[in-house]
Structure 1
């Protein structure tokens, strides 16, 4: 039995929730995956997995073994990457998940600079406006907007993004232009955007020491930043979002600011990653590069502020 490969197989089964998914992720036959687990359980003299017709999950002993395997495999990967970094810098694949609009605006245009510095690295980028499960989906780190609520992840602040409240002229012609936040409670709508807790993000305004949160009814819900802007332009309600994402709509007049004298809290961006990835050379250079890009953009007067 190749114990290292068996540990890798076991971790992927736990993270992906099934033998078939692990086999696909590792490009192995399913029979090889099943055999590796049988041999591993026999070697350890314990049952690691509980199998039902619907799901596979770790036993109590299996969960403890998974946590140690996860750390050992991460340490081995980091060691190999660190040794390789002495000859040409970090190498290998780093899987990163990004908010779609933020990634397209602030990361993708500057990737040539990243590869010029680290030619032996490969970035596998995903663009999502939902929060992916890093370990289950095989992601090394993610840039996340808003408050990071997962205590199982390390969060490092990266940037703050100015926001504003806006709506279409057609919407305001039908519902009126509010002069105070209290007026929003009388006949106004918002475009709903789901948060990670299953609720919708409220409108938030800075007013004194404690921000004011306003939740309004809506007739449409979207889970994509471009669709969020599109729904506002179509007149479905008020939205709050980064200024950079609506610059063209503001210039075209298809969206206009609402309650401009009432500031909106900045939108925080953080990079999150599992604790066991803390020493990864690939992760360190990527985070440092993102922080440098934020500083450069802020110095050029862009709508991006360093933390």
Structure 2
């Protein structure tokens, strides 16, 4: 039995809650994962994992073994990296997740520079706007926006982004230009008319976690307005949201850097320019209980460089 590999497999199963997820994240055949755990349990003479129909959980003996195994693996990695740093650049594979518009407009165009700087470090880039379980899904770090509620995560702020409220000229030509955020609310029924007066449409963005739409937010001279509006089309992905604006499906709020080329070309126009929205903070996030490896540290420093020109602070 390769005991070190068995330790790593056991730790991944404990973190992901499934033999199959551990096998996939470590690129090891599933039968091999099963055999390694069986061999480890036989070697220890103790049951480490308890299987149910839906999930794998650790036994009390497994929980104690997991705590010591993670410390041992972290120490081994630190030993390896301390030696390698003196002789070579970071190597291996790093798994990162980032929102779509940030990936397509900022990170991916700059990624050749990262590969040139660290040729022995491969990147698995997950592109999504959905919330992630970093440990459960085997992700080393994510780039996410907004204030972070999860105190178990470590966050490094890499930028703050300005918002703009905008729409296409086609939409504005058909529906008019709002003069006040309250103009975006649906019109009230006319006397004797059961139907609402057609007002403005919101190019909506809804949460992948809750399914609820995010309101538009407006600030001016100490006043704060949240406008839900009426959304005929809503999406839950940032690049698709930009496409809804370009298609003339409504008025929406998005990042200034993302629409700058379209504002310059005239495909989009800003509205309600005397109202603002607080800047959107971006963070590089990783689990606090995960050893910050040399590869994650190298990626974090590089990401900070890449996002610096887009920082609106």
The aligned counterpart of 1:248 is 261
- Label 1:21 to 1:293 Cα distance change in 2 as closer, same or farther (>3 A): closer
Q: Which residue of 2 aligns with 1:140?
A: 140
Among 196, 200, 212, the alignment partner of 1:188 is 200
Q: Separation in 2 of the partners of 1:93 and 1:267? A: 30
**Residue 311 of structure 2 corresponds to which residue in structure 1?**
304
How many residue pairs are counted as aligned between the two chains? 300
Per-residue deviation at 1:149? Answer: 2.6
For the residue of structure 1 that corresponds to 2:303, the secondary structure is helix
2:89 maps to 89
User: Residues 165 and 66 of structure 1: is their aligned pair in 2 closer, same or farther, counting only changes over 3 Å?
Assistant: farther
Partners in 2 of 1:240 and 1:70 — Cα distance?
43
Instruction: Give the distance between the partners of 2:259 and 2:77, measured in 1 at CA.
Output: 41
- Aligned to 1:266, which of 260, 279, 289? 279
Name which of 254, 269, 291 aligns with 2:304. 291
Tell me what 1:300 maps to.
Answer: none
1:56 aligns with 2:56: yes
- Root mean square deviation of aligned Cα: 2.6
Q: Is the aligned partner of 1:230 residue 2:243?
A: yes
Secondary structure at the aligned position of 2:73 is classed as: helix
Match of 2:215 in 1: 202
- Structure 2: runs of 5+ lacking an equivalent: 187-198
* 1:168 and 2:175 aligned: no
Structure 1 residues without counterparts, runs of 5 or longer: 298-302
Q: CA deviation at 1:59?
A: 4.0
Residues 145 and 269 in structure 1, CA contact (< 8 A), matched pair in contact too: yes
Q: TM-score by structure 1 length?
A: 0.85
Instruction: Give the structure with the larger strand fraction.
Output: 2
What is the correspondence of 1:12-161 to structure 2 with a 5 Å cutoff? Answer: 12-44=12-44, 46-59=46-59, 62-63=62-63, 65-161=65-161
Map Cα deviations across residues 150-207 of structure 1 (whole Å, 9 max, x no partner): 2221111000111101122333344432211222223333223233541322212223
CA contact 2:51–2:57 (8 Å) conserved in 1: yes
The secondary structure found in structure 2 opposite 1:142 is: strand
SS of aligned partner of 2:231: coil
Cα distance in structure 2, aligned partners of 1:161 and 1:286: 21
Q: Kindly name which structure, 1 or 2, has the bigger radius of gyration based on alpha carbons.
A: 2
1:141 shift after superposition: 0.7
Q: CA deviation at 1:24?
A: 3.5
Query: Which runs of 4 or more aligned residues in structure 1 lie more than 4 Å from their structure 2 counterparts after TM superposition?
Result: 42-46, 208-211
- Decide whether the 8 Å contact of 1:220 with 1:236 is kept in 2: yes
Greater alpha carbon shift after TM alignment, 65-74 vs 31-40: 65-74
Aligned equivalents of 2:85 and 2:244: distance in 1?
47
Please say which of residues 83-92 and 175-184 is displaced more in the overlay. Answer: 175-184
Q: Secondary structure at the match of 2:53?
A: coil
CA distance in 2: counterparts of 1:152 and 1:120, whole angstroms = 30
Return the offset for 1:222: 1.5
Maintained 8 Å contact 1:88/1:120: no
Q: Matched residue of 1:89: which SS?
A: coil
1:218 match: secondary structure: strand
The answer to whether the 8 Å contact 1:205/1:211 transfers is yes
Q: Which segment drifts farther, 164-173 or 22-31?
A: 22-31
More moved, 240-249 vs 186-195: 186-195
